[in-house]
């Protein structure tokens, strides 16, 4: 069995995929190989699985990038919603809105007021054009009417954020927790619908911007036409792995929330996220570099 992963080894999604692979290997009594196929924002990995036999032996680590790419890329050689069968979810990835500590805003309303008083003067970092950190910020801009200048990075944005060359970032909680703890960055709000255990005193963006919610996710998909009994069996086994206390603890340690769904629930979840990010991409007229 292979799980194809669209990012390089060692990144958080890869670690999540390896946790699931190890758990499935133990449950099935056979090796589960993690095959890293980074490139084109996970499109290379997705295409490989789309073209694989529908026998349950080649699976895809599904992520938010797949939902974004449906709209972000105009001429994909596959239709993700049609060609990949959702099997099981693994986790939700909460984000947090952080600012350089020199910025005067200490709350989301103060940030919005400051941004409106200084249009085009606040730089927003991201890990690249069309990535989830970028779209979290564009959703915020769309819902608040503020003018932030997007600055995409191909390498680490942290030195510039800490140095004040860029002033705001939407990022996974785990990646910035230490900077928040030491006061080098200020957390204004988490992007999820509810407050997060990792940052219990930090409000949600939605408490100030009603309806705002943004988060990433991981799951497992299979080629279309994979027989329903195989999909259902894989769903049961993956859900059992996610429910294992040791795996749960490892996922929480990565700064994510374990999340289990049925194939039908995960299918609707992906469809809803695809529609949501399509609206943001079209509103902000985001195009590939």
**What would the pLDDT profile of 141-183 be if each residue is shown by its tens digit?**
999 999 999 999 988 999 999 999 999 999 999 889 999 999 9
Which pLDDT score, from 0 to 100, does residue 34 have? 98
Average pLDDT, the chain: 96
**What six digits make up the tokens of 13?**
């999604």
Helix (H, G, I), strand (E, B) or coil at 185: strand
H or E segment and range at residue 109:
helix 108-117
Q: What is the mean pLDDT of residues 228-254?
A: 96
Tokens standing for residue 112: 């919005």
Q: Specify the length of the chain in residues.
A: 289
- Per CATH, the number for 94-207 is 3.40.190.10
In CATH terms, the fold of domain 2-92+216-284 is D-Maltodextrin-Binding Protein; domain 2 (3.40.190)
Long-range contacts, 244-248 (Cβ 8 Å, 24+): 244/23, 247/19, 247/20, 247/23
Structure-token pair, residue 27: 């449950």
pLDDT tens-digit readout, 36-61: 999 889 999 999 999 999 999 999 99
Is the confidence at residue 27, as pLDDT, over 90?
A: yes
Domain-wise residue ranges, the chain: 2-92+216-284, 94-207
The 3-class secondary structure across 127-173, one letter per residue, is CCCCCHHHHHHHHHHHHHCCCEEEEECCCCCHHHHHHCCCCEEEEEH
Compute CA 167 distance to the chain's CA centroid, rounded to the nearest angstrom. Answer: 22
Nearest residue to 206 via CA among 144, 268, 135, 284: 144
pLDDT class of 254 with cuts at 50, 70, 90: confident
| Secondary structure E strands in the chain | 2-5, 33-36, 58-63, 84-100, 122-126, 148-152, 168-172, 185-190, 215-223, 257-258
Q: Do domains 2-92+216-284 and 94-207 have the same CATH topology?
A: yes
pLDDT band, residue 253 (cuts 50/70/90): confident
Report, as an integer, the average pLDDT of 211-222. 97
pTM for the model stands at: 0.94
């Amino acid at each position: 069995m292979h799980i194809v992963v669209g990012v390089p080894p060692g990144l958080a999604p890869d670690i999540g995929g390896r946790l699931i692979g190890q758990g499935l290997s133990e449950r099935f009594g056979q090796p589960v190989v993690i095959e890293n196929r980074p490139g084109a924002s996970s499109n290379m990995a997705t295409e490989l699985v789309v073209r694989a036999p529908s026998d349950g032996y080649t699976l895809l680590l599904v992520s938010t990038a797949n939902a974004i790419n449906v709209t972000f890329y105009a001429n994909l050689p596959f239709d993700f919603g049609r060609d990949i069968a959702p099997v099981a979810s693994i986790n939700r990835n909460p984000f947090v809105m952080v600012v350089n500590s020199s910025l005067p805003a200490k709350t989301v309303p103060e940030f919005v007021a400051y941004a409106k008083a200084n249009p085009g003067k606040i730089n927003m970092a991201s890990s690249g054009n069309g990535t989830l950190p970028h779209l979290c910020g564009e959703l915020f801009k769309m819902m608040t009417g503020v003018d932030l200048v997007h600055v995409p990075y191909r390498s680490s944005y942290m030195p510039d954020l800490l140095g004040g060359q860029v002033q705001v970032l939407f990022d996974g909680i785990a990646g910035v927790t230490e900077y928040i703890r030491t006061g080098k960055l200020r957390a204004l709000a988490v992007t999820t619908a509810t407050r997060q255990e990792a940052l219990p005193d930090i409000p949600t963006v939605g408490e100030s911007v009603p309806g705002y919610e943004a988060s990433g996710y991981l799951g497992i998909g299979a080629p279309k036409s994979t027989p329903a009994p195989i999909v259902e069996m894989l769903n049961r086994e993956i859900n059992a792995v996610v429910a294992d206390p040791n795996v749960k603890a490892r996922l929480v340690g990565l700064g994510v929330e374990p999340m289990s769904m049925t194939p039908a629930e995960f299918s609707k979840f992906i469809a809803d996220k695809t529609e949501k990010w399509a609206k943001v991409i079209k509103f902000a007229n985001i195009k590939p570099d």
